[in-house]
A and B are shown apart, each in its own frame.
Chain A
Amino acid sequence: MISHHKKSAWSYFNFTRILGAVAAASSLLATPLMAADNSSTGYYSLSGESDTVFRMRTNIEKNNIYPIYEYLHFDLTKTLKDGSSASFYLGGWGRADLADKSTDKYTDGDLQYGYLSYRAAKNNVVINLGRQFVTEGVATERLDGVYLHSDFAGGFGAAVYAGKPVITEPNFKGGNVVYGTRISQSDSQYYTVGLSALKSERENNSRYREEEGLDLWFHPLDQIDMTGRSTYNSITGGWMEHAYALSVIPLDQLRISADFSHVNYYDYFFNMTASSFSFADKLIDPNEKLTTAGVALSYLPIKNLTVIADYKLYNYEIARKAEYFGGKVTYTLPQSFAVGIGLHRMEGKADHLRYTEYRAYASKQIGRANVYVDFINLEYNKRINGVKNSYAVTGAAGYQFNKTLLLGASMEYSRNPEFDSELRGLLKITYAFDTRLGEGGRKNEK
């Protein structure tokens, strides 16, 4: 712990402190390993969850498939007396199809993340090494690499990351390296302003992605909150997206939220790899520009009852506009009872962009058991594959044996333009664990 320092400005430049900081900065990477050795000064904890999922369904080729999935994630942490910690996080899944072993795709899997993390007790110093999900301004990326974050004087903070983008296909034509940064200045009560940049290069060092962004978060009063971001593509030399949202709470029971966005398709979809978003496939028109504006009112006439009305306008430079509007009423008693009904209309000016959406759900906790029904119906103005509507009814039940073990099952029946009638089943076993090893660490937790 650094003690109080109300003496003089000089104490800020206290030589030993600077030296300490430099030493700390350079040895930070080694710290997790050292910390793990130092078992007399902290405690270990292990927590995580295993979800085993068994599905019965029909695939697009109309064959029955019976895949079984195992999702596992855990966090092994060593917390030190000074409040810093070193952790190892891992998450991933594997799948095998029990019926169809004919193709080489009958087993599959993925490492979602796996990284070592060191977090200091001071200055929000974070060092992550490995496969991880990074969200910093313009970046919402999964990468194999390194991430560093620290606070600095004057409310400044900075994050840097670099690595290899995580890709799913062997013949991927995307980036070879990705790196970036975000620098922010904030007053933890009222605002945060951030500048961020991301760059990704192809194998031959050609430019693949170069994005810069400005993000804002204003919270002048507890009744007003505004967030937003503008993102620029410096390869195309144009703004990709401006997206801003505002919420105002004039009364305790009333919340008004509004959002606005503007997107230039050419700059936004530039070098996207999915065929459905590439210009080559002609589904995305590079000359299109989209402006959206939305508003929602949510009102709580009595506790736990919420009435929501919302409207969103999609305005295009080329295509004809679309509007989405509707409402929802929900009654929720947390962990006990929930019902909701919703009605929405998508009103595109083009015929095939019109539908009405109905939804109703209810769930109830009865002792250790939980039951749930959900109904969704979509009515299309223009028939799709000759079919006018698509509905799905889901029924589910769960049973909590104890704190760690939960068993659940669901059945979904649907009729839709893709399937005349389809029945799907799912069985899930969730096992959660959370243990603490080593000597009495309780006091260390804030």
Chain B
Amino acid sequence: MRSKFYILMVLALALSTLYACANTNSIIRKHPEALAGLTACSECHESTLGAMNHQATDFYKRHGSFSGANPQVCAACHQQSFCSDCHSHKEGIKPSEKFFIDAPERNLPHRGDYLTQHRIDGRVNPVACAKCHGRQNNERCKTCHR
């Protein structure tokens, strides 16, 4: 019991020291430029921020890696509502229906009649589907998959 307490104390002290020595500036809470549409970050930024260029063909595929590595960067422009439109645990409207006016060039999943096509896509790569429907947002699926 006592030794546990000491270990915790030492750990807390070590962490505090490391914390105090980090001295980095936090990523800004709100991006200074208000941007609309898929944005070419690389027009204004270099290195890793530039790599998040939203116009890159593979950004959509890779945005999960970027946010998994530094969610604070995304938060500078996106509230969680933006992510929830696709990453919902419960949702009634497909992203492609909700955002019809905003941007036809966006990569919204499930455009058109997806009830038919999902049978093929879901067989070919169920892994991609499970990321969003595996443990949530699957109330609808139950009408057919019991």
Contact = CB atoms under 8 A, between A and B. Distances in A.
Which 8 A-B residue pairings sit nearest by Cβ, starting from the closest?
A: A376-B112, A227-B65, A73-B81, A153-B21, A152-B18, A398-B101, A257-B58, A91-B81
A106 interface: no
Contacts of A284: 126
Given A126-B72, A189-B48, A22 B133 contact: no
B17 A18 contact: yes
A283 to B, nearest CB: 8
27 contacts: A13-B17, A18-B16, A21-B17, A22-B12, A53-B93, A69-B93, A91-B80, A133-B87, A142-B87, A153-B22, A169-B139, A190-B47, A215-B69, A222-B50, A257-B56, A257-B58, A259-B61, A272-B135, A276-B141, A277-B134, A292-B125, A296-B57, A310-B57, A314-B125, A378-B112, A408-B100, A410-B100
Nearest to A22: B16
Interface string B3-22: 00000000011011111111
B10 to A, nearest CB: 13
Given A372-B101, A390-B112, A417-B116, A228 B65 contact: yes
B41 to A, nearest CB: 12
A132 B139 CA distance: 20
Nearest to A419: B113
Contact residue range for chain B?
35 or more
A286 to B, nearest CB: 12
A331 to B, nearest CB: 10
A63 to B, nearest CB: 13
A259 B112 CA distance: 26
A34 interface: no
A132 B90 CA distance: 14
A108 interface: yes
A418 interface: yes
A166 B70 CA distance: 22
Given A21-B19, A217-B65, A410-B97, 17 more contacts: A12-B20, A22-B13, A25-B19, A87-B29, A149-B72, A217-B66, A241-B127, A275-B146, A276-B141, A277-B130, A283-B145, A298-B56, A314-B124, A324-B124, A348-B124, A398-B101, A414-B113
Interface in A364-383: 370, 372, 374, 376, 378, 380
A154 B15 CA distance: 12
B57 A153 contact: no
B15 A152 contact: yes
A358 to B, nearest CB: 10
